Amino acid sequence: MNRPLQTRKLLTIVCEAALEKRLEKELPQFGAHGYTISDARGSGAHGRRDAAWPASANIRVEVLCDEAVAEAVVRHLETQYFTSYQLVVFLSDVQVLRAEKF
Amino acid sequence: MAKGIVTPSRLFAACRIVFMPFEPVILFFLLGALAGLIRSDLRIPAVLYESLSIFLLLAIGLKGGVELARYPVSELVFAAACVVLAGALIPLIAYPVLARLGKLPRADAASIAAHYGSVSVVTFAVGSTYLIGQGEVAEGYLTVFLVLLEFPALMIGIWLARRGAPGSDWGKVLHEVFAGKSIVLLLGGLAIGWVAGSEDLKPLDKLFFDLFKGMLAIFLLEMGLVAASRIGDLRRAGWFLAGFAIVMPLVSAALGITTGLLLGLSVGGTTLLATLYASASYIAAPAAMRIAVPEANPGLSIGAALGITFPFNLLVGIPAYHWLATTLHGVFA
């Protein structure tokens, strides 16, 4: 039997690797059931982030969650980190199987 | 041939004179910097950077631990206290200079002061290697000073930035510093070396001691690449910070030589202490400051510490401190 696809939010955070430990601690506190972190490189308002050494390393954090959790995390990031840290945050709608996991 | 004409052989001779007192490992740093400046596609993989730093920290710790076993610990306590107290003066001197003369915002001045008060393990490694090349013996317990000097300046820097501001999370900061890999590996290596002693560590000598210089060379190649990539930061930082990045290590080195002489260290030990004081942290301090003083611009502190002070110490500083320590030892000892 094919289970139906359901809509959830995909929250993506691209930020400096220095924030990894903090986000790992905070995301579950806001109700996220899980997350995926990968190393990232790129360029933007703060110049090139080439991951040549820890101070220039970026990470990409992806969280599948419902809208309320996504909203809470985004607000938290906005107040806590937007002024002093380098990060980009965006939300998109995605179709998932087993929506209860997220 | 007319006088003053630069011939290849004269140029070569001049290079030999300039580089003669230096360690060949420094040439790897220059190669890395050159590769960065000409935008070569040379890249040291991040995992290799991590692996090499783990190796270097452990090896330095082990070496120090083996040496430490030769000295009674009680003899060291007084010297260590003096070294840490004198070292604490460095961020306290740097901060007002940066804030008043340089007119830098409080967070930036405090963060840069912390970088200069803390120490660079790689500069220490190059200093030790240089001294061995010069046939100079340094007290083995200098590694203990290296460990002890890493964190007080970070605490002072955070205090300078946070004075009067409520809600600074010291627990997080202390954890960041003490559970950080550099302290864990240096202290761990020291403990293992101290407990095991040189005889029991013999089977590990080939890996940790014989290969040390080669590993350091590759690490310096990477640091050259990274330093070249910070040139942009330096342009934004301006002339004041560039000047500070050269004058501050000289002031700190003078403090180190004075402390070394007063404590009765050997010429090698005095040189290495001056090198420690003169060095600026660009691995542990940026990580700690990013968490504890996030409003400080890391481009300024890393640009100055890694872009100017580190190469300055390698190329000019260490031989100069050695010369000064030798001269003053001749006068006072």
Q: Rounded CA gap, B148 and B108, in Å? A: 24
Q: Residue B163's pLDDT band (boundaries 50, 70, 90)? A: confident
Structure tokens at B317: 């500083």
Q: What average pLDDT does chain B have?
A: 89
Distance CA A18, CA A35 (A): 17
Query: Which of B43, B232, B298 faces A55 most closely, judged by CB atoms?
Result: B298
Altogether, the residues listed in chain B come to a count of: 333
Domains of chain A: residue spans and CATH: 6-96 (3.30.70.120)
- Give the residue from chain B lying closest to A41, CA to CA: B46
Nearest-neighbour CA in chain B from A79: distance (Å): 13
pLDDT band at B2 (very low <50, low <70, confident <90, very high): very low
Rounded Cα distance between B256 and B260, Å, is 6
List the single residue in B226, B290, B295 with the smallest CB-CB distance to A53: B226
Centre a 10 Å sphere on the Cβ of residue A66 and count the other Cβ atoms it contains.
Answer: 15
Size of interface A-B (CB pairs under 8 A): 39
Q: Do B287 and A54 touch (CB under 8 A)?
A: yes
The answer, as to whether pTM is greater than 0.90, is no
When scoring A24, A46, A49, A53 by the number of chain B Cβ atoms within 10 A, the one with the most, hence best to mutate, is A53
Residue B20: pLDDT above 50?
Answer: no
Q: A5 CA to chain B: closest CA distance, Å?
A: 39
The predicted pLDDT at position B274 comes to: 98
Average pLDDT over residues B311-329: 94
Helices in chain B by DSSP H: which ranges?
8-19, 25-37, 46-68, 73-96, 106-117, 121-133, 142-150, 152-162, 170-178, 181-200, 202-205, 212-229, 231-237, 239-262, 267-278, 284-292, 298-304, 310-312, 318-332
A52 min Cα distance to partner chain B (Å): 6
Nearest CA in chain A to B301: A55
pLDDT band at B1 (very low <50, low <70, confident <90, very high): very low
User: Which residue of chain A has the CA closest to B233?
Assistant: A47
Evaluate if residue B145 carries a pLDDT over 80: yes
The per-residue pLDDT for B74 is 83
**pLDDT for the residue B234:** 77
**Chain A residues within 8 A of B229 when measuring between CB atoms:** 48, 50, 52, 56
CA distance A1 to chain B (A): 45
* Confidence band, pLDDT 50/70/90 cuts, at residue B24: confident
B→A interface, C-beta within 8 Å: 43-44, 46, 49, 222, 225-226, 229, 232, 282-283, 286-287, 290-291, 294-295, 298, 302
Residue B114 and residue B116: Cα distance in Å, rounded? 5
pLDDT of residue B217: 95
pLDDT for res B208? 94
Contact B222 A83 (CB under 8 A): no
Query: Could you tell me the pLDDT band of residue B168, with boundaries at 50, 70 and 90?
Result: low
pLDDT in tens, B244-265: 999 999 999 999 999 999 999 9
Above 0.90 for ipTM, yes or no? no
CA distance A15 to chain B (A): 13
Is B332 a residue whose pLDDT tops 90? no
Query: Per residue in B175-215, pLDDT tens?
Result: 877 888 888 999 999 999 999 988 899 999 999 999 999 99
Task: Find the mean pLDDT for residues B131-143.
Answer: 91
Backbone angles phi, psi at B27, to 5 degrees: -65, -30
Minimal Cα distance from B303: which residue of A? A55
Say if CB B226 and CB B29 are below 8 A apart: no
